[in-house]
């Protein structure tokens, strides 16, 4: 299979970084955009032809064999390094779990020095303890990190492991040719005022109280029946208990439902996930396990029952269902967690930089009072055509929330796009050292944009 045009372009850009001896390159592409194809077909295959020893790092053991199979499909025989296997001296490509390498880095130090390229899947995990030390031991290796969400869960930057970024297309640019358009239904928003925040996110124990009950679950079941009856869907829950309860309630309502969790036997878990793909199950409920690295393109729906403050978690959950698949015309997202209201639509334009991480932004959406569809502000509800007379309220200014360092790091064109006042433009000019002439011209451009928006 050939790479898609954008995948080939991005692969060439990554190879160009390697050729320029860039130490750390971060490749950013939305979930379901096919990043594995880019790194495996576009990058690893090329450097293997040059005889480079490569490590492909995954952060969970379940992904080891999946990655070996992916490499095998392009004719690369990779060895697995896990608790039961040391590196195979005859292989050029080694798929390793990060935990194994961290535990054995002293013993494997000599071998680590021979590696020329380390590819880091889901590179947003590199902020976890132990990564820095491990990557420093790969002294002769260039790094290529891959992520859909190139910042930490709290939006902070990934740190000093990467020097350059290759930006793939955004969710909006990939839709509808390469990703399914998302359709959001938001019948209810939980009241989270009493929920405590722990390590930057809602505490699961408190969420359980708000989300794990009859009323909320019945709402989820009814919405599923109304919006996508019988279609394969994943429900994202707060805890293992919650996931089990939701599955029971779906089953009681006559649907084929199953819950999966990390304590299950891996074969049973895989069978459940495959059952969703084959039609044996209609609804799969889970708290964490299916939010990363699970590829079931046929899944057409996400039921969000786990409120989160982490845009990373949110994007991973909705990203699961955006994958295109024959016969699938849209991704249906039933949001009972208030996540879309908080984080914006999946295709919202998120601004981030390597230096400052995710720039805080308000992604405004509106909810139709008649049919409960949630969508980008506009004069009509896209589903029932309900008319909104006062939809174009001004966006909350976000430049005011940014630190000078973040402004300095961000490209001027991006800053201009989010500026809503002359005060904003003056601040950009002060931080970036632009002259008053720039402010004058930028003000004209801003007014033009605002008029255009008003006319739209």
Residues that bind Zn ion in the complex, under the rule CB under 5 A = 368, 370-371, 373, 381, 383-384, 386
Beta carbon nearer to Zn ion, 213 or 380: 380
Beta carbon nearer to Zn ion, 138 or 381: 381
Q: How many CA atoms lie within 13 A of 46 on its CB side?
A: 15
CB 382, min distance to Zn ion, A: 8
Identify the sign of the CA torsion 184, 308, 264, 253: negative
> What distance in Å separates the CA atoms of residue 261 and residue 118, rounded to the nearest whole number?
30
List, in order, residues 6 or more apart from 267 with CB less than 8 Å away.
none
> What distance in Å separates the CA atoms of residue 199 and residue 197, rounded to the nearest whole number?
7
CB 397, min distance to Zn ion, A: 29
Beta carbon nearer to Zn ion, 125 or 373: 373
CB 365, min distance to Zn ion, A: 13
Answer yes or no: are the C-beta atoms of 359 and 353 closer than 8 Å. yes
**What would the two tokens of residue 163 be?**
């020097």
C-alpha dist (Å) from residue 269 to 122, 235, 258, 272, 290: 21, 15, 10, 5, 10
> What distance in Å separates the CA atoms of residue 359 and residue 365, rounded to the nearest whole number?
18
Beta carbon nearer to Zn ion, 139 or 384: 384
CB 385, min distance to Zn ion, A: 7
Beta carbon nearer to Zn ion, 387 or 452: 387
Beta carbon nearer to Zn ion, 41 or 374: 374
C-alpha dist (Å) from residue 88 to 91, 110, 125, 139, 155: 6, 14, 26, 20, 38
Beta carbon nearer to Zn ion, 189 or 412: 189
C-alpha dist (Å) from residue 294 to 13, 92, 191, 246, 297: 27, 26, 31, 20, 9
Helix (H, G, I), strand (E, B) or coil at 100: helix
CB 337, min distance to Zn ion, A: 20
CB 392, min distance to Zn ion, A: 18
The angle that helices 240-252 and 204-211 make with each other, rounded to 10 degrees, is: 20
Beta carbon nearer to Zn ion, 186 or 402: 186
CB 345, min distance to Zn ion, A: 16
Neighbours of 258 (CB within 10 A): 23
Pairing of strands 201-202, 197-198: antiparallel
CB 334, min distance to Zn ion, A: 15
Q: How many CA atoms lie within 13 A of 440 on its CB side?
A: 3
Closest CA to 94 of 50, 144, 48, 133: 48
List, in order, residues 6 or more apart from 447 with CB less than 8 Å away.
none
CB 376, min distance to Zn ion, A: 14
Beta carbon nearer to Zn ion, 222 or 400: 222
Beta carbon nearer to Zn ion, 183 or 261: 183
CB 84, min distance to Zn ion, A: 55
């Amino acid at each position: 299979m050939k790479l898609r045009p954008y995948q080939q372009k991005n692969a060439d850009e990554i190879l160009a970084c390697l050729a320029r001896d860039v130490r750390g390159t971060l490749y950013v592409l939305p979930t379901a955009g096919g990043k594995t194809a880019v790194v495996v077909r576009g990058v690893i295959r090329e450097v293997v032809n040059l005889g480079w020893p490569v490590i492909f790092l995954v952060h969970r053991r379940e992904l080891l064999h999946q990655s070996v199979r992916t490499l095998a499909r392009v004719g690369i025989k990779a060895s697995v390094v896990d608790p039961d296997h040391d590196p195979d001296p005859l292989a050029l490509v080694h798929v390793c779990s990060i935990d194994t390498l961290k535990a054995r880095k002293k013993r494997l130090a000599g071998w680590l020095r021979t590696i020329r390229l380390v590819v880091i899947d889901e590179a947003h995990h590199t902020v976890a303890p132990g990564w820095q030390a491990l990557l420093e031991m790969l002294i002769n290796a260039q790094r290529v990190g891959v992520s859909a969400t190139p910042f930490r869960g709290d939006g902070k930057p990934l740190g000093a492991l990467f020097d350059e970024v290759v930006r793939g297309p955004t969710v909006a640019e990939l839709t509808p040719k390469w990703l399914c358009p998302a359709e959001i239904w938001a019948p209810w928003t939980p009241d989270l005022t009493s929920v405590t925040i722990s390590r930057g996110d809602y505490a699961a124990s408190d969420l359980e109280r708000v989300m794990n009950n009859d009323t909320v679950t019945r709402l989820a079941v009814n919405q599923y029946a109304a919006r996508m009856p019988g279609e394969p869907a994943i429900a994202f829950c707060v805890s293992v208990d919650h996931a089990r309860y939701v599955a029971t309630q779906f089953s009681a309502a006559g649907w084929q439902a199953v819950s999966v969790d990390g304590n299950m036997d891996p074969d049973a878990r895989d069978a459940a996930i495959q059952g969703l793909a084959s039609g044996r199950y209609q609804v799969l409920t889970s708290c964490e396990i299916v939010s990363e690295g699970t590829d079931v393109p046929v899944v057409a729906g996400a039921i969000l029952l786990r409120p989160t403050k982490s845009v990373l978690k949110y994007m991973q959950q909705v990203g699961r269902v955006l994958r295109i698949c024959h016969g699938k015309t849209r991704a249906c997202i039933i949001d009972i967690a208030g996540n879309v209201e908080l984080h914006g639509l999946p295709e919202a334009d998120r601004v981030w930089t390597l230096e400052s991480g995710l720039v805080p932004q308000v992604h405004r959406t509106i909810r139709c009072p008649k049919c409960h569809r949630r969508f980008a502000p506009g004069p009509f509800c896209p589903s029932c055509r309900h008319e909104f007379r006062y939809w174009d309220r001004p966006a909350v200014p976000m430049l005011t929330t940014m630190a000078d360092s973040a402004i300095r790091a961000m490209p001027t064109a991006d800053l201009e796009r989010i500026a809503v006042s002359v005060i904003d433009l003056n601040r950009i000019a002060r931080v970036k050292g632009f002259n008053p002439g720039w402010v004058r011209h930028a003000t004209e451009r801003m007014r033009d944009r605002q008029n255009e928006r008003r006319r739209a």
